[in-house]
Amino acid sequence: MHAVAPDAAAASTADRLRITEIFCSLQGEARDAGWPSVFVRLTGCPLRCTYCDTAYAFHGGQWWDIDAIVAEVARHGVRHVCVTGGEPLAQKRCIQLLRRLCDAGYVVSLETSGAIDIGEVDPRVSRVLDIKTPGSGEEGRNRWENLPLLTPHDQVKFVVCSRTDYEWARQVLHAHALHARCDVLFSPSKGELSATELADWIVADRLPVKFQLQLHKLLWNDEPGR
C-alpha cells in the first residue's frame, strides 16, 4: 500500500519535502470520515504527545519533489487528500504542496498540532487543528493566536485523556466560543479514557461538540499505512 519514493537525485532541492509515506485508505476522523482518501504523511514533529500514534514519522522518510507527490496522489484516483504527519507545517514547503493539491481540484484537509502558525495555509484547505490538552504533555505548545484564524471550513480537535482533560477542554471551548467558529471534535485517547464515559459527559453537559471515534483504529487497529 505504501508508495516507493522516487529518485531523490532527480528532485529539485527547492521543491522537496521529507515524506514518511503516501497511501490510500479511509479517512478515519473529522468531517471527511469514511471517504477513501490519499494520505501524505510528512516526516518530523517538534512535539512529543504522550499518546502519539505516529512516532514512526518523527525521523527518517525520503525526499520527494512536489511534482512527484502530486503525481503519486493522482495515481490513487480518489478525490480526498489529507496532508498529515508528524507535524506537516514544520516543513515550510508544505504550504506549496497544499496549494498545488487544491489547484489540482482535490478536497484537501490538513491535520496539524496547533503549535505552528496556520495563517499561510490556502483557504481552500480544511484545517483540522488540535488543541493539546494537559494530558498530552504538550499543552504549553498551543499557539492560541491560531484560534481567531479559524473559519467554518476548519475543525478543532481535542484528544481527551481524562476527566481533568475534559473539564479543561470544556473551559477552552467556552472561553474561545470555538463552536461558533467551526466544528469542534472530542475524541477519547485510546487506552486512557473509555469512549462511553466521554460520550456520557458530552450528553450530560449538552456540549456543542461532535464526539468521534477514529475509524481507522476500529478497522485496522492503527497499523501504519492504513
**Residue numbers of the site for ligand SF4 (CB under 6 A)?**
45, 47-49, 52, 54, 85-87, 113
Grid coordinates standing for 24? 490510500
Neighbouring-strand partners of residue 18? 63
Those residues with Cβ within 8 angstroms of residue 72's Cβ, 6 or more apart along the chain or in another chain? 3, 6, 22, 64
Those residues with Cβ within 8 angstroms of residue 201's Cβ, 6 or more apart along the chain or in another chain? 163, 166, 207
* For ligand SF4, the closer CB: 58 or 201: 58
143 is in an annotated binding site: no
43 is in an annotated binding site: no
From the CB of 199, what's the least distance to ligand SF4, in Å? 22
Q: What are phi and psi of 165, to 5 degrees?
A: -60, -45
Let me know: does 32 contact 80? Beta carbons within 8 Å: yes
* For ligand SF4, the closer CB: 48 or 92: 48
178 is in an annotated binding site: no
From the CB of 82, what's the least distance to ligand SF4, in Å? 13
* For ligand SF4, the closer CB: 11 or 193: 193
Nearest to 54 by CA among 63, 45, 67, 62: 45
From the CB of 138, what's the least distance to ligand SF4, in Å? 6
28 is in an annotated binding site: yes
From the CB of 41, what's the least distance to ligand SF4, in Å? 10
DSSP 3-state of 65: strand
Residues making up the binding site for [4Fe-4S] cluster = 45, 49, 52
Residues making up the binding site = 26-28, 41, 45, 49, 51-54, 84, 86
Residues making up the binding site for substrate = 26-28, 41, 84
